[in-house]
Amino acid sequence: MNTLHPTVYIVDDDSAIRDSLALMIEQEELDVLAFDCAEAFLAACSETSYGCAIIDIRMPGMDGMQLQEEMTRCGILLPVVFLTGHGDIPMSVRAIKSGAQDFLTKPVTRDKLLASVRSALKSGSQMVERIARVQQTRSLLSDLTDREREVMMLAVVGHPNKEIARRLGISHRTVEIHKAKIMHKTGAINLLDLARLAQEGGLSPA
């Protein structure tokens, strides 16, 4: 369960819009940070930023779509809700295809905005949990020796111990010892669980 406290980041060059959005969100007892341009937002955020971002499409300098691309490049994995007063269907399709969580048109109702923010925050939480799980898995797998990794990858695709021993030029008993060490180091309860860990850890089957 993720215990981080989320922040809703607002990026809009219109101060009245920023203040209105911030007020609505703060009334939901959520933390809010507002910025008048993309550059200021990027300067304040990092890969560890957690929550979601409400971004105006049309802004002086870097626009919303360009900001979304820059966020991806910088590893800022905040779900994005686009907000615009000049939206059209092609633009909304492009935004969603680029990974935006939602695309709202100004003026937006309180209920619609908050529903979108809640959905984005949920996606952000799931993303953080996924990343944490992958990092934990990779940490577990990094403790394996090269030989243990070889045995594991052969085992998870279904090769029996005798076949693993033949392929690696080791004894059947040595394979059993390696497998026992692998299960202990990774905490896997069976081969299916071990296969899941290998997949999450980004290891390719042998």
Q: How many Cβ atoms are within 10 Å of 116's Cβ, its own excluded?
A: 21
Residue 94: the pLDDT is 79
Residue 171: the pLDDT is 95
Domain ranges in the chain with CATH number 1.10.10.10: 143-200
Residue from 43, 38, 34 nearest 15 by CA = 34
CATH fold for the domain made of 7-137 = Rossmann fold (3.40.50)
How far, in Å, CA of 105 to CA of 174, rounded? 64
* Domain covering 143-200 in this structure, CATH number: 1.10.10.10
How far, in Å, CA of 59 to CA of 84, rounded? 10
Contact call for residues 49 and 78 (beta carbons, < 8 A): yes
Cβ neighbours of residue 132 closer than 8 Å, sequence gap 6 or more: 2
Number of H helices, E strands in the chain: 9, 5
How far, in Å, CA of 177 to CA of 88, rounded? 63
How far, in Å, CA of 39 to CA of 62, rounded? 7
CA distances 181 to 94, 165, 186, 187, Å, are 49, 16, 9, 10
Residue 1: the pLDDT is 42
Block means of pLDDT (10 residues each) for the chain, 206 residues, are 77 94 94 96 93 93 92 92 79 79 88 95 90 88 93 93 95 95 92 88 69
Residue 2: the pLDDT is 47
Residue 152: the pLDDT is 94
Residue 144: the pLDDT is 93
Cβ neighbours of residue 154 closer than 8 Å, sequence gap 6 or more: 163, 164, 167, 168, 206
Domain ranges in the chain with CATH number 3.40.50.2300: 7-137
CA 153 vs. chain centroid, Å, equals 26
